[in-house]
Structure formats: structure tokens, C-alpha cells
Amino acid sequence: NAGVTQTPKFQVLKTGQSMTLQCAQDMNHEYMSWYRQDPGMGLRLIHYSVGAGITDQGEVPNGYNVSRSTTEDFPLRLLSAAPSQTSVYFCASSYGPGYGELFFGEGSRLTVL
């Protein structure tokens, strides 16, 4: 059982470049989300989705786009990377209702030069 899979694990970008962080889960979870974690900080919610075709903004959505065309996949797009987006990104999923356990991926470390 793969759980939540994130790719790539490491990425270096130049300012202004675009890229997509991939997230896939094989647990048939309705809820998926993206967090970023900066040094010494807790996780901050970027975007989340409660099902295919439904997305919403979290705490820090600016500079990021998401879409949810399938239950399994929830990619995070950076259209024009900025140094402030240097961070570790975590994808998480859960069955759906608010009280459920969140399963996290191993993280994607992004550096923007």
C-alpha cells in the first residue's frame, strides 16, 4: 500500500520558472490538501479539496494553483516561482469528514534561486 506519494522529492528552480508538484494517493480518500513548512514553523495550509472537481483556498494560497480532476491526484502548480516559495511541501489526504486521520506524504523540498 503506497499511501500518499509526492514527486519530486527535491527541486531547484530559478525565479520566474513554473513547475508542478505531484501528489497521488491510493486510499480512495475524498479529502486532499497541500501544506508548506518553513524552518522553525508549523505547517500552513495552501489549498485543499473535498472531492474531484472541488477545491478551496487555505491560509496561504497566493502564488499557487490546484485542480482535482480525479480522486487520486491533487497537483500543486507554481506558475512563476519566487524565492519566498522556498519551502518543504507536504501533501495530505483523509477519508473526508473532519474528524478523520490525515495521511501525509514524505514531502517535496523546493528551492527557488
Q: For other proteins, how many residues bind (rule: CB under 8 A)?
A: 28
Interacting span for other proteins (CB under 8 A) from 17-25, 32-40, 65-73, 76-84: 32-40
Distance, in Å, from the CA atom of 105 to the CA atom of 13, rounded to the nearest integer, reads 21
* Residue in the structure block whose three cell numbers are 475524498: 30
Which three cell numbers mark 4?
500518499
- Terminal C-alpha separation, the chain: 36
Distance CA 13, CA 52 (A): 29
For residues 83 and 96, which CB has a smaller minimum distance to other proteins in the complex?
Answer: 96
By rule CB under 8 A, what string of x and - marks binding of each residue 33-52 to other proteins? x-x----xxxxxx--x-x--
Q: Work out how close the CB of 38 gets to other proteins at its nearest, in angstroms, rounded to a whole number.
A: 11
Does an H or E element contain 11, and which? strand 10-13
Give me the residues that bind other proteins (CB under 8 A), please: 4, 31, 33, 35, 40-45, 48, 50, 58-59, 90, 92, 94, 96-99, 101-107
